[in-house]
Structures are given as structure tokens and as C-alpha cells.
Chain A
Amino acid sequence: MNITKFDSSYTPQLKHLLGIDKTSQLDLEFIISKSLEWFDKNKNIPKKFDVLRGKTQINLFFEPSTRTQSSFELAGKRLGADVINMSLKQSSVTKGETLIDTAVTLNAMKPDLLIVRHHSAGAAELLSQKVDCSVINAGDGSHEHPTQAILDTLTILHHKKRIEGLKIAICGDILHSRVARSNLLMLSMLGANINLVAPTTLLPMNIDKFKVNIYNDMREGIKNVDVIMMLRLQNERMLSSYIPSAREYFRYYGLDEEKLSIAKSDAIVMHPGPMNRGVEIDTSVADNVQSVIKDQVEMGVAARMAILEILSMR
């Protein structure tokens, strides 16, 4: 991917960021170019700007999140927005208030930006139909997590200087992963070759409808790749008989030094976090020089600043 140069006259079309699937390539490239600017600006001190001064941002999290929520909070605060965190988890549901009721209540407070994470696919979409402000999907069920895909793209760009033509392996629980869905949409749109690596039980049916190569053998799937993206394996998956044990999973699908050596020697290792060390990734790999996991976190703030800025422009 050659980073398109945008002049000041470019007006992005997006009102909400609900998913990569729903966003045009040009807008995504615009977000990336803006993110790179923020990445540079974030190196300065002080890191405080007034782009969002007077604007209200609400982080509405129905699922527990540490890094995504704090990343959005930091992004908003650096841009000068008033940020409110609402961690509802399941509590509002048990009180009988529905997602739409919550949305209508919040809407009455006239926020400018609403960031939502919810355990059900389509929740961000539903909210966007009920509120006046811009909605950013911070993860909806097994559907999408677009800001993660954007920050992952930025991280890859930062290290590899291109996306087009790269061989990227996404490994692990593809079936339940919104990160995998958003990333494969984003990265294949930008011209990367995507390998999906997982046991068949953790691959969605019909995944072959996407432009991807599918491997059950991790050694085959990561041979000569430029990027290895590991996914978190949720413990409850083991209980519902998707895989027999953590031990067997690690043996065949965990990334260790030996498997890593099959990839290109300069391959980078990514993980959206939080990691299960010893389940999908070996500690030595997670912390070695090829690991860019900490860069992903840094890129996350820049990407979210760009997205907040762009959505507040309209």
C-alpha cells in the first residue's frame, strides 16, 4: 500500500465507525494517514491538544476491557474532549434496562462521540440508529473490532513500510474473534495475502468465501510469512469442546521459538492482548525482539485520536 496523500480538501464520508466492512477504502486510508500524524505528534511533550475541546465523549462498555477503554480514554483526553467512562458490564441488563433505553438516555445528554463495546453482534449498529452522535464500535460480539484492525495495520506499516504483497498469518480462535474478522477485511482490502491458521473447530463455516488461505497445520500456515498475528484463546472455549486441552492447543497452535523460525527471519509477532502466555504464545516469543505487541498499544492511541478527530469533523 502506498499511503495516499490527502490534501486538506478531503472530506471523509463516514458518520460512524461500525466496522471495516462498512467503511470505504479511501476513508480507511485517510484514517491511517491521520493516525500517522498523531503518532508523530504523540512523541512531543506536552501531549495535549484542543481538537476536541468542548466535545463530550462517552465510553460505553458492556464488556470488561482494560486496554481498549483506556486507549480511547487517553485518546479523547489528549485531544481535549470531556471523557466519561461507563462500564455497565451486565449490570444494566440485570436491572432490566435495554441497550436502546441506555442509548436514548445517553443521547439526551447530547454527547458528540459514543464509543461502545457490547457482547452482541450488531449492537453498535443498533445504537447508531438510535442516537444523533457518531458511534464508534469498540467490539461487538464476534462481529467486528475496527479500531483494532486500524491500529494493527498501522503497526505493520510502521515496521514493514507497506501492506500490499505482505504475507500475513492470523492464528488461533478465528471463529469467535472480531479482531480476526476486522483484520482480514482490512488487510486483504489493502492487498495483503492472508493465511488463517486454526483447528477446523475454531474456523467459521464459509470462511473460505473470503479471499484467504486456510491452514490447519501452523507450520504450513506461517512458512515465510512477514507477520504473525496471534489471537487470544478464551478459556471457556475449552469447556465447550472446541479443543481438547490447553496443552494440546499449545503444542499445535501455540507460537514458540521453534515455530517462529519457520516464518521469515524478520517476521513480526503481534497479539491484540491480553495474552495467555503458554497457551497461544510462549513467553520467550512474547518478549523477544520480533514482538511488536507494545507498539500495537502505542499505535492504538494514535489511531483512536485520528478516528475521534475525523468523526468530530462532520
Chain B
Amino acid sequence: MNKSTLFKNALLIDPKNEKEFVGAILIKEGIICEIFSSPDLNYSISNCDIIDCKNNVLSPGLVDMWVFVGEPGYEHIETIEDISNAAKASGITSIACRPDTNPIVDEPELVEYIKRKSIDKSEINIYPIAALTKKHCGETMTEIGSLIEAGAVGFSDVYKFNNNTNVIKNAFTYASNYDALILQHSNSDLDKYGVVNESELSMRLGLPGVPTISEAISLERELMITKYASNRYHSICISTKESYEIIERYKDQLSSVTCGISINNLKLNENDIGTYRTFFKVRPPLRSEADRSFLLENISNDIVDIITSNHDPQGTESKRLPFEEAEYGAVGIETLLSASLSLYHEGHISLPKLIKKLTYNPAKILNLDNIGSLEVGKKADLILFDKDTPWVLDADKLKTKCKNTTFENQKMQGKVLLTMVGGNIIYSTIN
């Protein structure tokens, strides 16, 4: 069985209560056994490793809710093993993976396949999200009950816009029977041809734009249905002030509505596209500086529940194309922590609150009760990181197979020192 581990002299983050304090924490048999609010204690226990955290931050491991993993079908882009290796070195101990693989995850057997493969090949926790409608065709809903039983944590048709409101209504209503989580990306047929934010810039570049109303229309429609059907609904990545205000309005009335944001939409704006740089072609598109700064200024409020990497690896060949033809997406798993920490370093959010949006909140939304929290009795999925270490991102040094990062050559802050999953240290740079 696992040995015990004592982390002492740690800056502990309790995301649930939004608290930070210097203390120590004892791990036994893979779970958090005791939390001490004094930093250095003479604790003697047999067969116990003692790790001096030297005042670095110890928090629950990050839970990234929206990650594309290439299995099944896109193993040449990324495998479960690849994502696990990249995630553990980046402080991410749990991910929920997108269903738009090949085949699309719309059968319980496929959920089981991913779960089994994860047990074999992954050191982090991988939670599959299943499709909301079969083959993402938008016609017949999937077997939501059986999929949940197989281990699906949520349901999504990803980027597929459904014109058939009746199917949406029925799927949402049926999902509510099982208290299933619907995760949707808000886009509509208005952005069918759009590749960038619709703006003066898109006009000057001659690129078809995605109007902000596209996101708003889709969001408003699905939230109206959510209110009607009483399902749980999570908007994956909002990118505009308009969407923020819609979510705010519905949150006033419904406790079952949550939303997230991609770190890209907090750190970058449409101007980063410059002269048709395809690495910045992402979904949702990078928006205007006005939208970005609005969302950033409001990140410490409780309207946006979670921050995600929106990790979407793309091979070089699908990015070395004219902008309109290039694929959407950027890798992000290895930059989530550092890029998010910059929000804290720049004073937009407190550290516990930031960590809450990266751990406790996503776990809670996904109904994963035993992770994402620093509480006695919870699973010991923990990370130790130095929040200040500066470094510069070199795309070639990324662990992911694909290097399509939006943060190339950017100055980052914060490095993971140790990652623990279920009481086992799976990554460490300390002796």
C-alpha cells in the first residue's frame, strides 16, 4: 500500500473556502488524512516521507474540463499517454476529454474504452465526455443513462450547431432525468464561414468574421431551453461581454447554469493574429480588446466558474495553410497553470480564487466529489508549485506532440515542482 507522505512548510490553498495559509498536510493511503495549520511540526510517523515545501504553493491538482485527446482515431496527434505525460508535468491531475474523436464517443462501449485505456496508459484521471446526439448528427439523442453508468461525466455536441430546437429540447429534458451535465460550445450557423472575430481587423484582412451575436444567440436559446427543461448546463467557453451578461442574467434565476472561459480569451485578443498567424485561429475566436479586458476585469466574480486550457492540438500540416483553410485550435495543457497565474500576478484575482476556478469548481460541476478540494478524506491529487519562477516558452520544448501554442516566446511565471495523484508522486523535480 501507499506510504504516508507529509508535506510541511507549504502555502496551502483551500479552494473551496478560498483560503490560503501556511501549514502542513499528511497523506495516508492515497487520501488527505490530516491538515495542520502550523508549518513545521515534529510529527513522527513510521514509514513516512517528509517533503519540505519551502513555502511553495500546495494545492489540489488542476482539473481541466475541456481537452481534446486524440483517442480514439487521432493517435497521430495525441494519445492518452502523451496527454498524461504533458499534464502531470504541468500540474493537471484530471481532465475531461471531448467526444468529437473518430469514432465519436456516442456509445457506452467507447466510454469504457477510454476509461480502460486511461487506467493502462495514464497516470492522471481522464473523464470522458460523451456526445449529446448520435454521431453528432443532431437528430437522435445518445443513451444518456447508460453512458453515465459507463462513466461519462457530461454530454456535448462540441462545435456542431443544431438547427433542430426540438431535438435540443428533448435531449435537455431527457438529460435532466439523470441530472446529466450538458456542456455546450456556443456557436450558431452565423459563424459557418467565419474564421476570426468580426471586426475592423477582419474587414481589413478580408477574412470572414464570426459576429459576437452568433455566440449570444446560441447561448440564449440553450439557456431558455435549460430553464424550461431544468437540466444542468455548462457553457464551455464564453468569449464576449454579451455572453457574460447573458450568463449573469440566467445565474440569477437558475443554480444549474455554469460557464467557463478559455485562457486564450483572457490573455490574447484578435490583434495577436497579426498577418494571418494560423496558430491564433481558435474557437471561440480571439475577440476584441474591449471584450478581453471586460472578461479579465470580471474574472474574480463568480459568473465565470472555471478556466480551461481549451487544449486542441493540431499537426503542423493543418496549420501551415492559408488562414481560412487552416484548422482551429491551440495546445494549452502545458501553459494553463502559468498563463492563469499571470492573472494573479497582475492583480486580477486572488490566488485561492484562481485555484478554485481551476480545481474545486470544475470538479464540482463534473460531480467529481473526491477531487478538486483540500479537505480531509478527499483523494490526494495534489500539486506543489513555485508560483514565481520566470521562464520563456519554447515551443520545441513542449512535451505534447503538436506545438501549436499561442504562447510561443512569451514570458511565463510559475513552475510545477511535484505532482501527486492518489497519494503517488507521478512527477517531481525536487530531491
Q: Which residues from B are CB-within-8-Å of A206? A: 198-200, 202-203
A121-B276, A122-B276, A205-B198 given; A99·B322 CB < 8 A? yes
Which chain B residue shows the least CB distance to A205?
B198
Chain B residues contacting A291 (CB-CB under 8 Å) are none
User: How far, in Å, is B211 (CB) from chain A's closest CB?
Assistant: 7
Tell me the nearest residue of chain A to B196, going by C-beta. Answer: A121
- Contacts A143-B206, A205-B209 hold; do A120 and B200 have CB atoms under 8 A apart? no
Interface string of A141-166 (1 = CB under 8 A from B): 11110000000000000000000000
Known pairs A126-B276, A140-B206, A142-B206; A121 contacts B200 (CB<8 A): no
Residue numbers in B under 8 Å from A209 (CB-CB):
200, 203
Report yes or no: A121 in contact with B205, Cβ–Cβ below 8 A. Answer: yes
Assuming the contacts A98-B317, A143-B205, asked whether A122 and B323 have C-beta atoms less than 8 A apart, the reply is yes
- The listed residue (A21, A98, A121, A205) touching B207 by CB distance below 8 A is A121
Which of the residues B204, B276, B320, B323 comes within 8 Å of A100, measured between beta carbons? B320
Q: Given that A141-B206, A143-B205 are contacting pairs, would A205 and B325 also be in contact in the complex, using a CB cutoff of 8 Å?
A: no
Q: Is A64 an interface residue (CB 8 A)?
A: no
Check A125 for interface membership: any CB of B closer than 8 A.
yes
Report the interface size class on chain B. 20 to 34
Q: Which of A124-149 contact B (CB under 8 A)?
A: 125-126, 140-144
Min Cβ gap A193→B in Å is 20
A21 proximity list for chain B (CB < 8 A): 204
The answer for the CA separation of A123 and B322 in the assembled complex, in Å, is 5
Question: A residues within 8 A CB of B255?
Answer: none
Closest to A203 in B: B203
> Separation in Å of the B258 CB from the closest CB of chain A?
31
- B206 x A181 contact (CB < 8 A): yes
User: What separation, in Å, do the CA atoms of A100 and B208 have in the docked complex?
Assistant: 22
Q: Which of A164-207 contact B (CB under 8 A)?
A: 178, 181, 204-207
Cβ-defined contact, B203 with A120, below 8 A: no
Using Cβ atoms and an 8 Å threshold, which residues of chain A touch B324? 120-122, 141
Contact partner of B321 (CB less than 8 A), chosen from A98, A142, A204, is: A98
**Contacts A206-B200, A209-B200; A122 near B207 (Cβ below 8 A):** yes
- Binary contact readout B314-329 vs A (1 if CB under 8 angstroms, 0 otherwise): 0001001111110000
Q: Which residue of B lies closest to A121 (CB)?
A: B206
Size range of the interface on A?
Answer: 20 to 34
Prevailing SS type, chain B contact patch: loop
Q: When chains A and B are docked, how far (Å) is the Cα of A118 from the Cα of B202?
A: 18
A242 to chain B, nearest CB (A): 12
Give the residue among A118, A120, A125, A178 with the most B Cβ atoms within 10 A: A120
Query: Are B199 and A126 in touch, CB under 8 angstroms?
Result: no
Please determine whether A125 and B204 come into contact, CB atoms closer than 8 angstroms: no
Contact B325 A120 (CB under 8 A): yes
* Distance of A208 from chain B, by nearest CB (Å): 9
Contacts of B205 in A (CB 8 A): 121-122, 143
A100 B203 Cβ-Cβ under 8 A: no
Interface assignment of B275: CB less than 8 Å from any CB of chain A: yes
Known A121-B276, A121-B323, A123-B322; judge A207-B203 contact (CB<8 A). Answer: yes
User: What 0/1 readout, one digit per residue, does chain A (107-128) give for beta carbons within 8 Å of chain B?
Assistant: 0000000000010111101100
Kindly provide the distance from the CB of B107 to the nearest chain A CB, expressed in whole angstroms. 32
Our pick among B203, B317, B322 for the contact of A204 (Cβ within 8 Å) is B203
Q: How far, in angstroms, from A123 to B198 measured CA to CA in the complex? A: 20
Determine the distance from Cα of A171 to Cα of B223 in the docked complex, in whole angstroms.
Answer: 42
Chain B residues, Cβ within 8 Å of A98: 317, 320-321
Q: Which positions 285-326 of chain B face chain A at CB distance < 8 Å?
A: 317, 320-325
Q: Which of B178-212 contact A (CB under 8 A)?
A: 198-200, 202-209, 211
The CA of A204 and the CA of B205, in the complex, are separated in Å by 12
- Cα of A98 to Cα of B198 in the assembled complex, Å: 27
**Docked CA distance A121–B194 (Å):** 12
Report chain A residues within 8 Å CB of B199. 205-206
Q: Is the CB of A205 within 8 A of B203?
A: yes
Cβ-closest chain A residue relative to B325: A120
Chain A residues near B208 (CB-CB < 8 A) = 142
Contact with A along B195-239 (1 / 0, CB 8 A): 000111011111111010000000000000000000000000000
- The answer to whether B206 touches A126 (Cβ under 8 A) is no
**In the complex with contacts A205-B198, A205-B209, A205-B211, A99-B321 CB distance below 8 A:** yes
A53–B323 CA distance with the chains assembled, in angstroms? 36
Name the distance in Å between B116's Cβ and chain A's nearest Cβ. Answer: 35
- Closest 4 A-B residue pairs measured CB to CB? A143-B206, A122-B276, A120-B322, A121-B206
Q: A122-B206, A143-B207 are in contact. List 18 more A-B contacts (CB 8 A).
A: A21-B204, A99-B321, A120-B322, A120-B324, A120-B325, A121-B206, A121-B323, A122-B322, A123-B322, A141-B324, A142-B208, A143-B205, A143-B206, A144-B206, A178-B206, A204-B203, A206-B198, A207-B203
